Amino acid sequence: MATVRTITLPHYPSYPIHICMFRDVTNAAFLRSQLLEANPDFDYAFLDPSMILSPSHLLGGTFLALHASLLSRAKTRTPHSELVFRLHPNNNIGEAYRKFGISDSSTAIIAVKLGLGPEVTNERVSQHLGEHVQGESVNVGEEAERVGDWCDVGKVRKVYKLENPKKKGGKKGAQINGVGKEVDERREMESVILGMITLKGS
């Protein structure tokens, strides 16, 4: 059994989102091969945690993917691939999988399952993932606040082509301690990234 957090997005109460995080994963290659074979049992969005900045980052992409799928406006074949695709700033699905999806050597994984039907429940997702993912399940927290814990901010900044905030001055230079600064920096990045993934493809 894996620890799965179920989150309900405002405005889409009937489509819960199941999120699960693993570390020390040993069979990423197997999981990836199942994705490539499009095995319907493995219909998940497996994401690279180093590319997920914050819960809002993940949920923003999820909302847009869910929205596009429900309005039949998705650009990819499944709602889960749409989520991976949505997170990337460009319109290239393969590129999106390379950056945000898992590779054969991944050791950490975020698995997202969209509750599109009544048969997808927290227990079932938990059981299925627990059986097939060889790794240690990590609690993502009440509001999935820990999904950004393993983020590689530099990598994220590179993919979204965000400048390094060297010239921090003026009104925003008011923080005094380093911790506050890093939180602010992440928040600022998150705001820009949410805008970019919203604008993507238009």
Partner 1 sequence: MSTTNMASTASDAQPPTTPPPTQPLHALPQPFTTSNLEVLTQGAEALVYKTTFLTPSTPCVLKYRPPKLYRHPILDKRLTKARLLAEARVLVKCRREGLSVPAVLGGDWESGWLVLEWIGGRTVRAVLDEWVHKFGLRARDGKTSEEEVKRELDEGLMEVVAEEKESQEAREGLMRLMQMVGRAVGKLHEIGVCHGDLTTSNLMLRTPERKEVVGRGPPRMTVSAQREAAMSGQDPPEVIPVQQEETKETNSLEGDVVMIDFGLATQTIHEEDRAVDLYVLERAFTATHPAAEHLFQEVLRCYGESFKGAKTVLKRLADVRLRGRKRTMIG
Quick count: other Cβ atoms within 10 Å of Cβ 187? 13
Closer to partner 1 by CB, 149 or 188: give it.
188
Three-class secondary structure of residue 143 per DSSP:
coil
Closer to partner 1 by CB, 41 or 167: give it.
167
44 closest CA partner among 94, 98, 114: 114
In DSSP terms, which residues pair with 101 in a beta bridge?
Answer: 47
Structure tokens, 137: 């399940």
Distance of CA 57 to the CA centre of its chain: 7
Minimum Å gap between C-beta 141 and partner 1 is 12
Binding site for partner 1 (CB under 8 A): 9-12, 55-56, 59-60, 63-64, 67, 70-71, 73, 143, 162-163, 165, 170-172, 174-177, 180, 188, 191-192, 194-196, 198-199, 202
Closer to partner 1 by CB, 117 or 169: give it.
169
Minimum Å gap between C-beta 56 and partner 1 is 5
8 Å CB contact between 20 and 7 = no
Minimum Å gap between C-beta 25 and partner 1 is 27
Cα–Cα distance list, 160 to 100, 106, 153, 183, 193 (Å): 12, 21, 11, 18, 7
Closer to partner 1 by CB, 136 or 143: give it.
143
Minimum Å gap between C-beta 27 and partner 1 is 31
Closer to partner 1 by CB, 65 or 96: give it.
65
Minimum Å gap between C-beta 78 and partner 1 is 19
Go through the chain and tell me how many residues it has. 202
8 Å CB contact between 82 and 75 = yes
Cα–Cα distance list, 94 to 28, 88, 137, 140, 146 (Å): 18, 10, 27, 28, 27
Minimum Å gap between C-beta 185 and partner 1 is 11
Closer to partner 1 by CB, 8 or 107: give it.
8
